[in-house]
Amino acid sequence: MEDCENPPPPSSSKLLPRRIDSNGPYRLLHCSSKGDKTGVMQELEKGVEPNLADYDQRTALHLASCEGCTEVVVLLLEKGAAVNSTDRWGRTPLSDAYSCGHEEICRILESHGGIDPGSYGEIYLVKWRGTEVAAKTIRSSIASNPTVSLFDILKRRGRLDSPTTVAYALDIARGMNYLHKHKPHAIIHRDLTPRNVLLDESGHLKVTDFGLSKIAQEKDLQGYKMTGGTGSYRYMAPEVYRRESYGKSVDVFSFALIVHEMLQGRPSNREELPEKVADKRAYEDYRPSLSSLGCPEPVKMLLRECWHKNPECRPTFEEIILQLEIVQEDLLQDKTLAVCCRCLIL
């Protein structure tokens, strides 16, 4: 007997709303599913809520993402559509875009903090000992081999090639972008290290261990009011070590050091005590050397920006994703060209 209360998730061919009216507020859903950008704009200008949903709680962004309507996706996001709204089956717009193979839309949604619940665990705002913290559930596919961290990979393999490093860096950046864009309050990890990044069974890295993460609520002109000296010294941002107010860019600083470690195969100055390294970065503006790294120049430029001494000069993870995607495309083109050249020589 069919379960009417909890029907199975729809297949990609059945993701259209149950009710599509040519008139009324549901016209927004109809136009979104058809890629009618003009129609969508007309409905939004009438005051129709961009997060309007059908019977199955599928929004206009769900439908546009599913049907591959890139321009409509961009428009809806610009007009404030919730990037991670879920339908009655727990699917997000990014879930639909992935299922239907719309890679460009996937990149757009990810750059806006979109997640696919099928690959990331759910993050909840909970109270622990009277303090709001971020609690994340780890899906079985990730937890099936919890001992394989980026630290283990680097210990076993040493330095990684540029394509692998960029791919891993994108995995980390996308996970961190989701945390930093979390609503209603951003989540700052504060302890991003190779040990806290796990490899899942599909070969992607996942950011884990939110024991020191913090909900960013109270912000003044100087940054978020948070406790300094929190995290791992070797990956700690200077302002944290100096016990100054800080914000989301502390995670960007740690990210840069992790990417450098992937390219070098080991931590910089590993012979020195971690606290000594953190002290030099905070008070002597010391940074790892980039001269010996065999990676594209844009990656080196990005690292310099990410570990800039001025936190406000560091890029956001959304900006980092866009830059790394360009580098990844260039590396792929170079690889394709090299294969073609070998074929011509043969």
Distances (CA, A) of 57 to 46, 51, 100, 274, 279: 21, 10, 19, 50, 51
Task: State how far Cα 339 lies from the chain centre.
Answer: 32
Do residues 105 and 70 make contact, with C-beta atoms less than 8 angstroms apart?
yes
**Burial call 149-181: b when 16+ CB within 10 Å, e when fewer:** bbbebbeeeebbebeebbbbbbbbbbbbbbbbb
Q: Return the structure tokens found at 162.
A: 């540029």
Question: In the block, which residue shows the tokens 């990684």?
Answer: 160
Rounded to whole angstroms, the Cα distance separating 212 from 173 reads 18
Strand pairing partners for 224? 219, 246
Residue 316 DSSP one-character state: P
Question: In the block, which residue shows the tokens 């990844």?
Answer: 328
Residues recognised as catalytic: 191
Q: Return the structure tokens found at 145.
A: 């081999």
Other C-beta atoms lying within 10 Å of the C-beta of residue 323: 16
- Whether the bond between 7 and the residue before it is cis, its omega within 30 degrees of 0, is no
Alpha-helix runs per DSSP H in 271-316? 274-283, 297-306
Do residues 21 and 27 make contact, with C-beta atoms less than 8 angstroms apart?
yes
Rounded to whole angstroms, the Cα distance separating 288 from 281 reads 9
Question: In the block, which residue shows the tokens 């991670």?
Answer: 84
Residue 142 DSSP one-character state: H
